[in-house]
Every structure is written in C-alpha cells, then in structure tokens.
Structure 1
Amino acid sequence: MDSSPNSALLSEAEYQLHTQRWVKDFVVEYNICPFAKRELERGSIRYEVAMSADIEVLLQALIAECQLLDEQPEIETSLFITPELGDFEDYLDCLHWAEQLMRKQGYDGVYQLASFHPRYCFAGEAEAEPSNYTNRSPYPMFHLIREDTVSRLTQLHPDPEGIPERNIQLSEELGTASLKQILASCKL
C-alpha cells in the first residue's frame, strides 16, 4: 500500500520535510494556493504523520487532529499525512469515511477537508493529464483548513472562483514531465 518504493524506510520527520518542500516549492512557488505563502511564512502549518493503513485508526487520528486545531488557534491549517494509503482507491474510501465522521462529530462548517495524493486523478480525466497535479502530493494526505479563514480570505481575493481554472491552465503550461520532476524533487 506504499506510495513509493522507499516509503517504508522513511521517518516521520522525512515525510514532514518532503511535504514542507512540496508546500514551499510547488504550492507556494507556483501560487497553487494564493493563501499558503502567508501561513508558510508565519509557521502556522502543522505537518502530522499518521503511520497506519487501518482506516479506523486513521479516522480516529484525524478527529484528534481536529481537536488539536480546536485547542490551538495559532495553527492555521494541518496537513495530515497518511503514507500507508498509497492505493488511490483505499485513499478515496478513507476520504469518504473521514467526511462522514467529521460531519457526525460536528466539524462540518468548522474545517474543510481537501484531498491530495501522489496518484490523484479527477473523475473523468486520464491519469496522465497535467490537471491532476493540482491535487498530487509527495504522499497521501488530508488538508484540514479552517472554514472561517477560507471565508475571510476568499472575500479578499479578487477571483476566488478562478483559482482552480488558473491552476489547471498552469499545469497544462508546465506539462506532465515538468510536474513529475517538481513532485519528485520534493523527496530529494
């Protein structure tokens, strides 16, 4: 179920470091999320690694992460890294259950759950399409985002609805080969 051949050999710190590089060298550098740079500079992004393939264990850890965010408002957002969910279908199953559990636990409208995976593929898209890279990451992860912050920042952005279209256009301009190289370089 690994997302890479060497993932079993990595420490939590290495998963965190690679994810930090991805945020800095891709998400911020290419302005994939226009709100990420501020949080990167403030050091308010948390990188949590959950080393389990058991969906129930991961869901419990994800709710614990929500509770931690409840208690620590200085943490703006959390990247909940799940290296053992390398199979994209298993990941999607976990995402489905995570959304259900967050709703049941009263987190609907409190935290938004964004999804990223090394093999991310939008429904109806070919796997090789560059647009998939807008949601590809070095490792499988769930991004917990504070809803109130999203609402506030999108009001300040001149065209929040245009962000996904801009990202797709950028990914097509960069091309699959370049995007693969950018993603791979995060693990070096």
Structure 2
Amino acid sequence: MSDTGTPAIDDAAVEADIRRWIERAVIGLNLCPFAKAVWVKQQVRIVVSDASTEAALLEQLGEELLLLRDTPAETIDTTLLVHPQVLEDFLDYNDFLESADALVESLELDGELQVASFHPHYQFAGTAPEDPENLTNRAPWPTLHLLREASIDRAVAAYPDPDAIIERNIATVTALGAEGYRKLLAE
C-alpha cells in the first residue's frame, strides 16, 4: 500500500501487461501490421509513468515527445507512455487528448509527431461500451502512443490496402469477442 492507502503500482507488472498486449493483440492479431517490424528491432520505448495528476502526465508527455524528436528512429521509432495512476476514467482520458494534441502543437511537432490513444475502457464515438470495435483500441492500461508521422507515411505507402485495416480489425475482434480478447491477454 502507498501512503494514500491505495495499492502501489508494480511498474514491472504494468510493463509486462503492455508487452503481452503488444505481442498477443497488436502483433498477434495483426491489429497493426506495422508494429512487428519496430518491435523485433527493439525500437519501441515503453515508459511506465509515475504521474498521479494530469499536469504531471502532460509534463512527462512533453519530455517524451522531445526525446522522440531528438532520437534517431533507428534507436526509438515509437514510444508508449503508460500511465496507470492517472486518467483511469475513459471520459477524463478522452478529454485529456485535447491537451496532448495542444502540447504537440505548442512544441511545434505537429506534422512530425502525433499521439494515438489506447485505454482499457476505450469507446469510439457512436458506439456502446460493449461494442466489439472498441476492443481495437483497448489496452490493459491507459496509454499514450507517440508516433513519428514519417514512419507512419512509409509504412502506409508500403502496405497494399491500408484502408482495409480498420474493417479487418473490427472483423477480427468481433470474431474473438470480449471474452476471447480477455483470455488472450490473461497470463
């Protein structure tokens, strides 16, 4: 237990959950056909944040954006900023994404870097919480995914039909179902 009486977060367990999600869902189900290449080259940085406030998370997000900007893609192509202690509520998380996008712009990184979103309770607009397509953006912990736009452009250009990815992903997670998805990510 922490000083606040809440259970302490085990950073190693959080990172293990994220790694399992990447390997079994993102790569294993081929939800992102571009992920495997950077994963096997060890170009994915996973940071488990100790931020407990939105302000602290936004500050750390800024630091990670600048680190990604200043580091060659061959070393770090993408960063997952996992924040288990803040923005556990999806609506709060979703509202925070506006601040994340504003930070990218204020750092003059729009067009260079972007922030994608994953959350245990992810819900696309116009869907019900239990709709299967929400599983495509559900991760074990709230996560901000920092991406290089140049890397995205190269990957999409090399992929035969990038527009089909979303439809294929929805079909994949629909066939698996919520219980199958949960089992896939279980230890």
Matching residue of 1:133? 135
3-state SS in 2 of match to 1:15: helix
Aligned-pair CA distance for 1:181: 2.0
Counterpart residue number, 1:118: 120
In structure 1, the residue matched to 2:34 is 35
Is 2:62 the partner of 1:60?
no
Deviation at 1:177, TM superposition (A): 1.5
CA offset digits 1:134-183 (Å, max 9, x no partner): 00000000100110010011000001111111101111111122112223
Aligned length: 179
Aligned partner of 1:173 among 169, 172, 175:
175
Normalising by structure 2, we get a TM-score of 0.91
- SS of the aligned residue for 2:183 comes to helix
Are 1:133 and 1:171, in contact at CA under 8 Å, matched by a contact in 2?
yes
Instruction: Out of 163-172 and 131-140, give the one that drifted further.
Output: 163-172
1:108 to 107, 110, 113: 110
Consecutive unaligned residues of structure 1, counting only runs of 5 or more, are 1-6
Structure 1 equivalent of residue 15 of structure 2: 16
Distance change >3 Å, CA 8–CA 36, structure 1 → 2: farther
Cα pair distance change 1:95/1:8, threshold 3 Å: farther
Cα offsets for 1:32-88 (capped at 9, x unmatched): 000111111111100011122311111110010011112221101000001122111
The range that moved more, 136-145 or 81-90, is 81-90
Secondary structure, counterpart of 1:30 in structure 2: coil
Q: In the aligned structure 1, how far is the partner of 2:91 from the partner of 2:50?
A: 18
In 2: Cα distance, 1:124 partner to 1:53 partner:
30
Match 1:90 to one of 82, 89, 92: 92
Unpaired stretches in structure 2, ≥5 consecutive residues: 1-5
- Report the counterpart of residue 3 of structure 2 in structure 1: none
CA deviation after TM superposition for structure 1 residue 95, in Å: 1.2
Pick the aligned partner of 1:158 from 138, 157, 160: 160
Whole-Å separation in 2 of the counterparts to 1:171 and 1:14: 25
> Which position in structure 1 is the counterpart of 2:77?
76
When normalised by structure 1's length, the TM-score is 0.91
3-state DSSP class of the match of 2:116? strand
Shift of 1:9: 3.2
Q: Is the 8 A contact 2:9 2:84 kept in 1?
A: no
**Cα RMSD, aligned residues only:** 1.3
Contact 1:22-1:138 within 8 A present in 2 as well:
yes
- The one-letter code sitting in structure 2 at the alignment partner of 1:54 is T
Please say which of residues 8-17 and 141-150 is displaced more in the overlay: 8-17
For the 8 Å contact 2:104–2:114, the answer to whether it is kept is no
For 1:149, the equivalent position in structure 2 comes to 151
Match of 1:53, SS state, is coil
